Each structure stands twice: as C-alpha cells, then as structure tokens.
C-alpha cells in the first residue's frame, strides 16, 4: 500500500519520499553544514555571501525534516575552532546572521511545531547573542514536535571534558568522590545531548570525509552519508536522498549481518 505523502512536500521531495519506508526513518539526524566559503568563491563573491545563502538551506532542511516527522535534527552551526581560525569580521557577521535567523524563523518554527535547543559553550558567546538565543528557545518551548538543536560554539572534545567535570561535580555534591560512578550511561547523561537519542544518521555536505570534532561520542554507531553538494545548494530533497541511502544500509552494531547469519544457518543445517 502506498504510503501517505506528508503535507507540504514539493514535487521532487515527494518523488524521493515515495521510495522511503516511513517506518524506518532515522530518529535523530545530525548535519555538518560545510561548503559556504567554496560556494561563494566559485561565484566570485565574499565568504559571507555563502553564509547568507546557507540560511535558505537551513529553512528548507528543517521544514522538510519536520514535515516527515523526524523526531530530532541537530545542525553544526558554529564550532569552538571558528573563534580562533576565522577573521573577526566573519565571526561578527555570523553572530549577527544568527540573531537575524532566530528573529525571523521563530514564527516558522512555531508553525511547524518545532522546539529549539542548543548545545555548546553558550556562556562564551556575546551577551546579546545569548539573549536572542534564550528568547527564541523560550518562544518555542511549548512545541511538541521535532527538536531542532543548533550546535553553537561547539566542540565534541570540550563536551566530553564538560561531561566529566559535571560527573565530578555531581559526586562532590553527593558526598564526595567516593560516590563517583563512571560508565557509558553516566557519561551519556552528562553530555550536552543527554535529552536526545544518539544520531542514527550524520550527513556531511561538500564532500569532506571527516567529522570535524562533531558529536564524537554520540556518532559511534551512526551511518555516515557524504554528499558533494555544497551547503548553500542543499535542500529538503537532498535530506530525503540521505535518508534513502540510510535505509539501504544494514546496521549491525558490531554483530553479524543478515548474510552472515543466513550462511551460518545454512551451514548448520547442512551438518545436521
């Protein structure tokens, strides 16, 4: 039986969605948005033009993910390293662009029942940016649909450091280090993403084959999908194509796949 097409998908998105199994959609998709600078350079434009163009990609991707009922979407928007390796003028532009995005997109987020959250060392961002972020978070706090998380001033290594600091602090307030208990579950709960499931799928645009210090703990078993598409050209259709590729893969989590299991069963029967 043909799956019901979610409202709001355009013609190209609908074509790809028809090839998907709605029962096997990822629960959490993470995206490394890369290629803004190259997009601008190929058009002989300043780098900031690529960042500005990327806002449309965010809007299309977020709306499509919400329309097909993906529970969680996390976007790598601004890394800790960006502070150190980008010109101050570009960083200042990115901060202004973020504030404009939040102000402009809150109505769209509310219309799509999307709740906005953040991960990263937010306290290191400029105070006016923190204020705009908190306003947008509160404005969407009552929404019950997809959780959109923006990774801002984010570093996976810093996140793990902060998680262990949080573990130690919790133990100290609970009787001292003798009460410190460390296992995988404890670490996961103290990560920035403790309220989210680990991503099933991570998408990287622009063809780069690295994780760039993004969700290193959480992506341990995620499927990786790399597209040559530069972020400003990425749209909801590309997101659905990534999900289509995800659904073609067999997720084994370190175990044997169906082919191996089948061969084992066949051999066992032959011996009996």
How is 210-238 classified by DSSP, letter by letter? --TTSSTTTTTT-EEEE-SS-GGG--HHH
Q: Tell me what pLDDT residue 272 has.
A: 45
Q: Tell me what pLDDT residue 137 has.
A: 98
Catalogue the active-site residues.
Answer: 34, 82
- Identify any residues that bridge with 118 across adjacent strands, giving them in sequence order: 150
Say if residues 60 and 235 touch (Cβ distance below 8 Å).
Answer: yes
Q: Tell me what pLDDT residue 116 has.
A: 98
List, in order, residues 6 or more apart from 257 with CB less than 8 Å away: 250
> Distances in Å between the alpha carbon of 197 and those of 124, 183, 213, 253?
26, 17, 19, 15
Say if residues 154 and 228 touch (Cβ distance below 8 Å).
Answer: no
Q: Tell me what pLDDT residue 200 has.
A: 97
Q: Tell me what pLDDT residue 10 has.
A: 96
pLDDT per residue as tens, the chain (272 positions): 456 999 999 999 999 999 999 999 999 999 999 999 999 999 999 999 999 999 999 999 999 999 999 999 999 999 998 877 888 899 999 999 999 999 999 999 999 999 999 999 999 999 999 999 999 999 999 999 999 999 999 999 999 999 999 999 988 887 777 778 889 999 999 999 999 999 999 999 999 999 999 999 999 999 999 999 999 999 999 999 999 999 999 876 666 666 555 554 544 444 44
Tokens 């969605």 found at: 17
Q: Tell me what pLDDT residue 81 has.
A: 86
Q: Tell me what pLDDT residue 271 has.
A: 46
Question: Tell me, what DSSP letter sits at residue 252?
Answer: -
Q: Tell me what pLDDT residue 1 has.
A: 45
Q: Beta strands of 101-179 (E only): which ranges?
A: 115-119, 147-154
Q: Tell me what pLDDT residue 220 has.
A: 96
Predicted TM-score of the model (pTM): 0.90
List, in order, residues 6 or more apart from 229 with CB less than 8 Å away: 35, 205, 206, 238
Question: Tell me, what DSSP letter sits at residue 68?
Answer: T
């Amino acid at each position: 039986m043909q799956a019901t097409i979610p409202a709001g998908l355009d013609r190209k998105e609908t074509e790809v969605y028809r090839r998907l199994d709605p029962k096997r959609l990822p629960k959490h998709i993470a995206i490394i948005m890369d290629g803004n600078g190259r997009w601008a350079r190929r058009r002989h434009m300043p780098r900031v033009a690529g960042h500005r163009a990327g806002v449309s990609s965010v809007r299309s991707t977020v709306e499509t993910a919400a329309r097909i009922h993906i529970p969680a979407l996390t976007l790598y928007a601004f890394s800790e390293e960006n502070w150190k390796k980008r010109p101050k003028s570009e960083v200042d532009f990115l901060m202004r662009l973020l504030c404009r995005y939040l102000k402009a997109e809150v109505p769209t987020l509310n219309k799509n029942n999307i709740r906005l959250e953040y991960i990263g060392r937010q306290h290191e961002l400029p105070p006016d940016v923190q204020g705009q972020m908190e306003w947008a978070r509160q404005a969407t706090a009552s929404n019950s649909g997809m959780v959109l998380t923006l990774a801002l001033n984010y570093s996976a290594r810093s996140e793990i450091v902060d998680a262990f600091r949080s573990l130690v602090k919790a133990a100290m307030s609970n009787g001292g280090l003798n009460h410190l208990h460390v296992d995988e579950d404890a670490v996961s709960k103290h990560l920035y993403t403790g309220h989210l499931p680990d991503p099933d799928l991570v998408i990287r645009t622009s063809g780069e084959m690295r994780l760039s210090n993004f969700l290193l703990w959480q992506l341990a078993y995620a499927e990786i999908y790399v597209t040559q598409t530069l972020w400003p050209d990425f749209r909801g259709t590309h997101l659905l194509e990534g999900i289509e590729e995800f659904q073609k893969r067999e997720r084994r989590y370190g175990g044997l796949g169906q082919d191996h299991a089948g061969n084992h069963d066949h051999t066992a029967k032959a011996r009996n």
